[in-house]
Amino acid sequence: MCSRRHGFTLIELLVVVAIIAILITILVPSLSAARAAGRRTACLSNVRQLAQAHTTYVADYNCLLAPSKITDLPLWWLNPYFGYGVHEKLWLCPQANQPNPFETPSMGAYGNAQSPWVWVFVEPSKEGRRIYGAYAFNNWLINADTWFTDKNSNYPVKQYHFALPIRRRESNVPVFIDAVDDYIQPWPSDPAPSNLNNGQAAGTVLGGAWHNGSGIGYACIARHGKSVNAGFFDGHAENIKLQQLWTLDWHSQWVPPSPLPKIP
């Protein structure tokens, strides 16, 4: 006798489709979270390497970064570390992987939580060359004695810059951090931005152009959830919740505000 083969009934097919849909609903967020965690880990590795390059540079030269001796803008904060395993791709956070919506052929732009900042060279020999990055250097770690030496006598916030030896807990002094611009110079009274995608709340202005608003808002962005990655003076790196930004020792006389700003 020949046996007859029966196909799936419509009800059975619908059940299978429903199960697949449920599994997709469960798995897709998990996969997205896993990818985001992977990008966060890769970013943490980047800022750790940058921080360790800075630590080695300071140990080798027994001084902090001296930008007045560096003419290759806008990479003055990065060039000294090229001999320590640093390269331009290391300056890109894998999470900031979207095109910058404000970039133009002739001008750079601030970044945001998902996009890198853009610098455009204007020097004739490099005109049009573009540099992309997702991290900022803590400007309070610049050697103030060599920064704009012709204006040092008029520099009203020189005393807030770090000097060697660092008289703060080195593991709490940030060097590099996720941000929307290439440098950051915070002040305790800097407010939190209202938009965690763009950041850039105006910073506290001290001495006019000497502190031009490059406050904590540059780093207060939702790049890794409500957190960012930072590399510290002792060479370690960690993920920082946004409200913790005000508890870090950004400059030599830092006192955290009380209460800490609320994060939207």
> Of the candidates 53, 58, 59, 125, which has an alpha carbon nearest to the alpha carbon of residue 82?
53
Query: What is the pTM assigned to this prediction?
Result: 0.82
Total domains, the chain: 1
What confidence tier does 87 reach under pLDDT thresholds 50, 70, 90? confident
Spatial distance between the Cα atoms of 72 and 81, rounded to a whole number of angstroms: 13
Q: What are phi and psi of 83, to 5 degrees?
A: -80, 0
Whether 255 maps to a domain, the answer reads no
First and final C-alpha spacing in the chain: 74
- For the cut 60, the answer to whether the pLDDT of residue 211 exceeds it is no
Whether 243 maps to a domain, the answer reads yes
pLDDT of 143 reads 83
Query: CA quadruple 73, 39, 226, 230: dihedral positive or negative?
Result: negative
pLDDT of 13 reads 82
Q: What is the rounded average pLDDT for all residues in the chain?
A: 83
| Contact residues for 105 (Cβ-Cβ < 8 A; gap 6+) | none
Question: What is the arithmetic mean of pLDDT over 204-232?
Answer: 78
Whether 1 maps to a domain, the answer reads no
Q: What are phi and psi of 88, to 5 degrees?
A: -60, -35
- For the cut 50, the answer to whether the pLDDT of residue 208 exceeds it is no
pLDDT of 197 reads 93
> Of the candidates 116, 103, 75, which has an alpha carbon nearest to the alpha carbon of residue 221?
116
Spatial distance between the Cα atoms of 100 and 108, rounded to a whole number of angstroms: 9
CA 236 to chain centre: 15
Whether 38 maps to a domain, the answer reads yes
Whether 252 maps to a domain, the answer reads no
Comparing 207 with 172, which gets the higher pLDDT? Answer: 172
Whether 257 maps to a domain, the answer reads no
> Of the candidates 227, 225, 220, which has an alpha carbon nearest to the alpha carbon of residue 36?
225
- Percent of the chain past pLDDT 70, that is, above it, reads 78
Comparing 75 with 16, which gets the higher pLDDT? Answer: 16
pLDDT tens column, 121-137: 765 555 567 889 999 99
Question: What is the arithmetic mean of pLDDT over 209-220?
Answer: 72
Whether 187 maps to a domain, the answer reads yes
Whether 125 maps to a domain, the answer reads yes
- For the cut 60, the answer to whether the pLDDT of residue 24 exceeds it is yes
Domain containing 63: what range? 11-247
pLDDT of 73 reads 53
Q: Report CA-CA distances (Å) from 180 to 11, 165, 199, 214, 216.
A: 54, 30, 7, 10, 11
